[in-house]
Amino acid sequence: MRHYSRVIGTGGYLPTTICTNDDISQRVETSDSWIFERTGIKSRRIAGGDESAASMAEIAATQAMDAAEILADELDLIIVATGTPDRVYPSTACLLQQRLGAKNCVAFDIQAACSGSIFALSIADQYIKSGAAKKVLVVGSEVCSRLVDWTDRETCILFGDGAGAIVLEVAEQAGILSTHIHSDGGCEDLLYCPNPQAATAANKDELGFIKMRGNEVFKVAVNTLGRIVDETLAANEMDKSDIDWLVPHQANIRIIAATAKKLRMSMDQVVVTLENQGNTSSASILLAFNEAVRDGRIQRGQVVLLEAFGAGFTWGSALIRY
Ligand SMILES: CC(C)(COP(=O)(O)OP(=O)(O)OC[C@H]1O[C@@H](n2cnc3c(N)ncnc32)[C@H](O)[C@@H]1OP(=O)(O)O)[C@@H](O)C(=O)NCCC(=O)NCCS
């Protein structure tokens, strides 16, 4: 018998503090209209001083497990995607395992920047398909606000904090129809975040803030996401019209609109959370998926395309029959 992964629960968490474009324009030379027109963002959430990737992950994960009606000790595997781990080690997944009291599972983090949740879903799917795990918790959790240089107007306008979660279970029917993940380490300079503690003598003076050549990243993202759509449809012998929902990584409304256009989809079929969340990196797709499941837009049996692009570069997709 073949094994597939099925989504049995979703969850999400957003910190309560709202940072509007007007708030940012008090700090750097920008405006609400510039930010909204170029990005589609109006506000983003900022984690409180006592919040972290692990604490936000716990809330999102608990919500997803409640929806899935499973207990923590039923989990076989926890994967957390984050670029803002609480500690270098233990992994945020191990910290989450302890918080949840998930005694019977293995837990590890993956780092694929904004593509993290797609990479984590892909790994989870391989574990379930191979029979190595039956119930898997995937979480994306990020405190991007702590990696942002709040004096850099080209990056501080983009990012926000939050956590999204999904529980997968082994099933006889898909579920996840396919996942596709890719990396190209050749574009490091276009988007990176230094780690001062592990710096070499040559880059020891770099601060630990996101550095980005936004315009160039934008162009690569649009082209790459166009290609991943084609790859995903071809692998499943599906047509554009077979996709009910697009749940894209929430980086920029113009990147999202380009992918929707490629799919000949109306924006009504695209889940957009960007306006009030900004780019929450590896949390964004799971937050958007959770929102559209909970408000009833995504219905059982519908086909949902998740896609992401991030530093690395990394990019990928997951096609799900929900
Ligand atoms: C960052 C981004 C919004 C900038 O928009 P853009 O249309 O590409 O703008 P440019 O970088 O070409 O800059 C155009 C001008 O606006 C200025 N500008 C940049 N940020 C600004 C801001 N926040 N407010 C006002 N002006 C700004 C620039 O300095 C530049 O001025 P100049 O023409 O005098 O040199 C856009 O490139 C983007 O979203 N890129 C993708 C980033 C991304 O998604 N990264 C994460 C990937 S997961």
Rounded to 5 degrees, φ, ψ at 264 are: 50, 40
Rounded Cα–Cα distance for residues 145 and 44 (Å): 10
Residue nearest to atom 20 of ligand 1 (CA): 154
Give the end of a domain, one of 148, 173, 198. 173
pLDDT of residue 205: 87
Q: In the predicted model, is pLDDT for residue 69 greater than 80?
A: yes
pLDDT of residue 2: 84
220 and 133 assigned to the same domain: no
pLDDT tens digit sequence for 289-316:
999 999 999 999 999 999 999 999 999 9
132 and 159 assigned to the same domain: yes
Average pLDDT value for residue range 68-75: 98
- Let me know: does 310 contact 185? Beta carbons within 8 Å: no
Give the end of a domain, one of 149, 173, 197. 173
- Residue 1 pLDDT grade (very low, low, confident, very high; cuts 50, 70, 90): confident
- Let me know: does 232 contact 263? Beta carbons within 8 Å: no
pLDDT tens digit sequence for 131-152:
999 999 999 999 999 999 999 9
135 and 24 assigned to the same domain: yes
Q: Measured in angstroms, how far is the CA atom of residue 246 from the centroid of ligand 1?
A: 25
pLDDT tens digit sequence for 224-278:
999 999 999 999 999 999 999 999 999 999 999 999 999 999 999 999 999 999 9
76 and 110 assigned to the same domain: yes
CATH number of the domain residue 18 falls in: 3.40.47.10
The residues annotated as belonging to the active site are: 114, 249, 279
Give the end of a domain, one of 173, 198, 213. 173
Rounded to 5 degrees, φ, ψ at 210 are: -60, 130
- Residue 103 pLDDT grade (very low, low, confident, very high; cuts 50, 70, 90): very high
Q: Which domain holds residue 104?
A: 4-173
168 and 266 assigned to the same domain: no
- Let me know: does 157 contact 30? Beta carbons within 8 Å: yes
Q: How many domains does the chain have?
A: 2
User: What separation in angstroms does the CA of 227 have from each of 223, 231, 232, 263?
Assistant: 7, 6, 9, 11
137 and 216 assigned to the same domain: no
156 and 287 assigned to the same domain: no
Greatest Cα pair distance, the chain, in angstroms, is 60
67 and 191 assigned to the same domain: no
Residue nearest to atom 30 of ligand 1 (CA): 154
Instruction: Decide whether any atom of ligand 1 lies within 6 Å of the 59 Cβ.
Output: no
- Which atom of ligand 1 has the smallest separation from the CA of 113? 48
132 and 185 assigned to the same domain: no
125 and 227 assigned to the same domain: no
Residues 6+ apart with CB under 8 A from 207: 149, 194, 196
Average pLDDT value for residue range 171-189: 96
Residue nearest to atom 8 of ligand 1 (CA): 215
pTM of the model: 0.97
198 and 129 assigned to the same domain: no
